[in-house]
Structures are given as C-alpha cells and as structure tokens.
Amino acid sequence: MNKSRRKFLTNTSLSAVALASGCHKPGQTTPPPGYPPVTGATPALGPEITSGTIFEAEKLVQLQLSDNQRVQIAERWRTNDAPLYERRTGPRKVAIEPNISPASHWDPRQVAANLPPSPAITPAAATTGTPGIHNAVQSHTQTHPAQNHFIRTNTDPGPLPTTDREIAYAPVHQLSRWIESRALTSERLTNIYLDRLTRYDPQLRCVITLTRDLALAQARQADTEIAAGRYRGPLHGIPWGAKDLLDTANIPTTYGAEPFRNRIPTTDAVVVQRLHAAGSVLVAKLSMGALAMNDIWYGGQTMNPWLIEEGSSGSSAGPGSATAAGLVAFAIGSETEGSIVSPSMRCGVTGLRPTFGRVPRTGAMTLSWSMDKLGPMARSVEDTMLVLNAISGPDAGDTGSVPSTLNYDATAPIAGLKVGYFPQWMKEATEVDRAALDTVRKLGMVPTELSIPDWPYGSLGILLAAEAAAAFEDLTLSGGLDQLKVQTPDAWPNTFRSARFLSAVDYVQADRLRRKVAIEMARVFTQVDMLLVPSLRDEMLTITNFTGHPSLTLRAGFITVTGPRSDWAPDPSKSPLKFNPPRQVPHGVTLIARLFEEGTLAGAGLALEHAFGVANQTPHSF
C-alpha cells in the first residue's frame, strides 16, 4: 500500500517508530500481550529544546511556523524525534561497515523505462532491444507472468446457505464455487452486501462512498457472462471494497482526509483495473485513517465489529471492519508499517501483506515510495491468495514494482517446514500465540529458536518520517494540514512539520542501516522457512516492513480484554473505559516468509487455519 501506505504503526507518531523498533527501555510502560504499543512511552532523550530552538532552526531549513506549532514540536521532540538518532547516540549504538551502501539504489534504466519510445525506435526494435527500451513499451496493465504455479483447493463448497447472513459471511473460495455453478447470482450477492453496508455503516463508520450503481451494473454483467459460459475465474462476480486511497475513475478517492474529500480521479488505479478485469464487483470505497494513520477519518472513527467500543485499528480501518462484519467478500488494504497487520489482528480477519514490489501501486496514494504495499484482507487464507493472484505483476507506472512468480499449491505438504520463533517474545505473548507454536509442532512443522541482534531498529523511522513528509510537503507548506480532524502531537500535522528538522546525514546512515538489517534477515532465512511472531511485536513488524518481507496474519483464537484498545495516545482528561465483565475478542498470529514466498505462507496458513478452527466464528451483532 502505501506508497508505502500504512498506519504510522500502532503508535502513530515518530516516537511510534522508535517504540516499534526496539526493545522496551527501562521506565517504559509495557502494554499487556495483544495490545498495541503505548504511544508516548519512550523516555525523553537528547538535550532540552524550546520553541526558540525551533524558531532558530527554521532559518536553516527556510521554513516559517506559527508559535503554537513551534511549541508542539518542542514539547514532543525528545520523545518523538530524538529517539530516531539512537543509532549514533545510544544506548544501542551500532557501527555500519564501510562496504554497506544505502538501501536506496539509483538505476538509470528505470528512468529510460518511463520515457516514451524514441520515434527512431520501431515497435520491433523496442521489443528486442535493451531492457530499458523494452520496459518503456510495457503495458500499464501487465499481468503476472505465465510461469506462475497456482493450485487452489478443490473441495465441494456444500449447499448454498438458507440465510443472507450466512451467505454474506461465506469466504470467497466458497462464494466463487456457488457463482461458477450458478447456484448463486452475482446480483443477489451484491444486493446482500449493499444492504448490509447500508444497514451497519452507521454503527461502524467504515464506508466513505457506496458505489451502488457501478456495483449492480458489474454484477449484472458478470451474471450475463457466466450464463453465456464466459467465466473469468474465482473472483468473477465477487463483491469487494477498496481502501479509499485507490483511485477509482469518476468516484471520489479521499484518502480519508478533509483536504481531499472532494477529490475525484479520472482513471482507475492499476489494482482496481486488474480486479475489474477479473470480473470483481466494487461495492464500496472503505474508510482509512486520514492520510494512512490509524482509524479516524473525517467521518469519525471506524469501529471494530467484535467490540463496538473500540476502533478497528488502522490505517486499513474500513477494510478490516467491513470484512469482519460480512459487508464485503474481501477488501484491498495497504501497509507501510502495520496498516494491514494491525486491523487484521484486531478485527479477526486474514491479512496478506505481499512482498514489496509484487503488487503495483500505480494510482494509489503515496505515503512512502520505498515501503508502501497493497494487499488483500479477507476471511480465509485461500481467499487472500485468490486475490493476490489477480493483482500481482509489475506495472510501468510504479518503478518499485518488479516481475515475480507466484507459486501456490494448496495440496503441497507442510511437514518438515522450519518455523522460526523468538523465545523471549513468546514468553511475553498471549496464550493464543504460545498455543499457535504448539500447533505448528503438532502439524509436523519444526519450531526453531532464533535470535536477532539488539540493534536500534527504531532509527529506521527517519526514512519513513522523511518520505511521508515529502509526500505531503505541499499540504504542509500550504497550511492544508490544519484541516485534519486530529491535531494531537502524535498525529500527522506535527509529524510532517517536525520532520523538516531531521538530519540528512542521519537519513543516509539510516538507509545504510536498512541494508545491514536486510542482510541480517537474509541470514535468518537461511536457517528457517518462515517466522511465527506475535502480530504486533514491534521489532519484527518494523524490520520486515523496511526489508519488504511478506506476512500473513490470521485469526488463531480469542483473548480477554478489560478495556478498549487504541492506536492513539490516551486522553489524560478522560478516564479509560473498563469492561465488567471483561470481553472476548479475536487474536491473530503472524507468519513471515522469505521475499516472494507468499505461497509458503499460505500453505502453512491453510493448515494452521484448519487446526485453529476459529475462522468461521462471526461477530454476533452484525
């Protein structure tokens, strides 16, 4: 997503990245297992500064802020920004060897690939010449390579349920079989979801734009084609929802943010084009935290169907909530650093964050060019793979997208796969996480203890902060940030302004650290086939988003909570809500694989999903 679309982690400020990255330091408040990290819990680091310090620094970067903005930056600098310099200021300093180059790589061939072909180059020459010239004439809707190996399950979906609710909650792999056999029409299924979206959105606030007319037209077309024998595949006639950072032609795409609420694109994002080509039915543009942060947008806070008193998490707030409540068959979310994983875990859905570069982001909002990823959110593991198969493949409009193969075989054995885990993290995790590790063993996979260096992974946050601030520089300099609903110190407005004062030298050094971390992850994956980690364990969530590794988050059981969880810093003026008695909510675990090995994730995920036996449970109120 994201251009690197994400929810600036569960802690939404720059301090979030510091928190997210490394071990909790002495004096930090450690949240209970299964809860998001505590925003603002990082100890204050670095020298004291004042608004006068910021005023003087403005002269260096040629920026003018208001008195209130200077005060806000100064008050939070030591917790939000100073921790990002831990790589060189300590306590966990780390040396970077001279041969480690920055992770960002300048390739002039990419520039050639985005120039129009020279008039002197004929089409024949273009397709047989240099790679750069060849790329220049590639289709913007290029699909996945022909050498993909994709075998889905071939089980009988059973009889069509007798109630609309049961149909609505059925996974895509069942819905597709009923539609293919014409036991269910796309128009009926589409009307079921449109009715549920209309009925439940007032409680969940997960819909920004309902696309009723388009959806019914697409559904009727799908039924006509299928009746004529022109079945396009497992997504044909399946209704879905798009996080509202994917452009849709002549339909608002608002980024969940006040300055863009009247923005209407003229073309579809490439992922939207590919889902249209697969015959899918777009029923709604779903909510997202404003500019891909958390779960509050200009229409309010999107809520968790399992626990209506708490937000659904973000920034893929609407996709998580709508999928969990049976309002869409699947959704497309995005992640920069946690925006698929966190709402998937909280709302009890299955979220697949693909390898960086597998799914093109052309026509999607950019938060971070080097981190944003688009991926499916659904109600079963196989559903996410059916969607990924339709949207994978490079596009010339996204220089970060690359050719790749997708190898998935639902029948492949999983016995003997080595599953790495970190013993200390499991000690600090929930019983559900530890039970999942036992299930791995019972299924014949091999749990393998691992460790990683105690490096200052939070220092990587400089890269994300700088990219995000650059992506929305015009909004910052024009004062448009003032229109955003959330203006707290841990929200985007303060983050974008304070990022102007980050060091360029430290940015380059953080980029070199990123490559060093990627080399370390390559070493880890020489020992195991995948990792099993608690879903919000900050170190690995941060590391793998910066290194681009794929992850699969799936429901593994239920935990007890004594109050609503939040991605936002607590409001000191309000007493926290306490449940009496405590509530049961879904809890997910996360698998992480080598780059481009989503098929390995899905194979293990299918076996775990079956063994856990909780995927079919639904929230009672919806």
Confidence of residue 561 (pLDDT cuts 50, 70, 90): very high
- How far apart CA 493 and CA 477 sit, in angstroms, is 11
pLDDT of residue 123 exceeding 60: no
517-530: burial string, b at 16+ Cβ within 10 Å, e else: bbeebeebbeebbb
> Over the stretch 388-398, which tens digit does the pLDDT of each residue have?
999 999 999 99
Q: Which of 595, 558, 565 is nearest to 579 (CA)?
A: 565
> Over the stretch 322-364, which tens digit does the pLDDT of each residue have?
999 999 999 999 999 999 999 999 999 999 999 999 999 999 9
Given 243, 316, 404, 551, the catalytic residue: 243
Given 21, 316, 339, 342, the catalytic residue: 339
Task: With beta carbons less than 8 A apart as the criterion, state whether 290 and 486 touch.
Answer: yes
pLDDT of residue 143 exceeding 90: no
Q: Is 503 a known active-site residue? A: no
Would you mind telling me the total number of residues written for the chain in this entry?
622
Q: Is 344 a known active-site residue? A: no
Q: Is 243 a known active-site residue? A: yes
Confidence of residue 428 (pLDDT cuts 50, 70, 90): very high
Confidence of residue 586 (pLDDT cuts 50, 70, 90): very high
Identify the pLDDT of residue 214. 98
Given 13, 287, 315, 498, the catalytic residue: 315
> Over the stretch 236-268, which tens digit does the pLDDT of each residue have?
999 999 999 999 999 999 999 999 999 999 999
Output the pTM of the full model: 0.88
Comparison of pLDDT for 417 and 119, the residue scoring more: 417
Task: With beta carbons less than 8 A apart as the criterion, state whether 193 and 239 touch.
Answer: yes
- How far apart CA 68 and CA 64 sit, in angstroms, is 12
pLDDT of residue 22 exceeding 70: no
How much of the chain exceeds pLDDT 90, in percent? 81
Comparison of pLDDT for 122 and 193, the residue scoring more: 193
From 189-203, 310-324, 414-428, 569-583, the region with the lowest mean pLDDT: 569-583
Mean residue pLDDT across the chain: 89
30-39: burial string, b at 16+ Cβ within 10 Å, e else: eeebbbbbbb
Identify the pLDDT of residue 106. 66
- How far apart CA 474 and CA 107 sit, in angstroms, is 27
pLDDT of residue 550 exceeding 80: yes
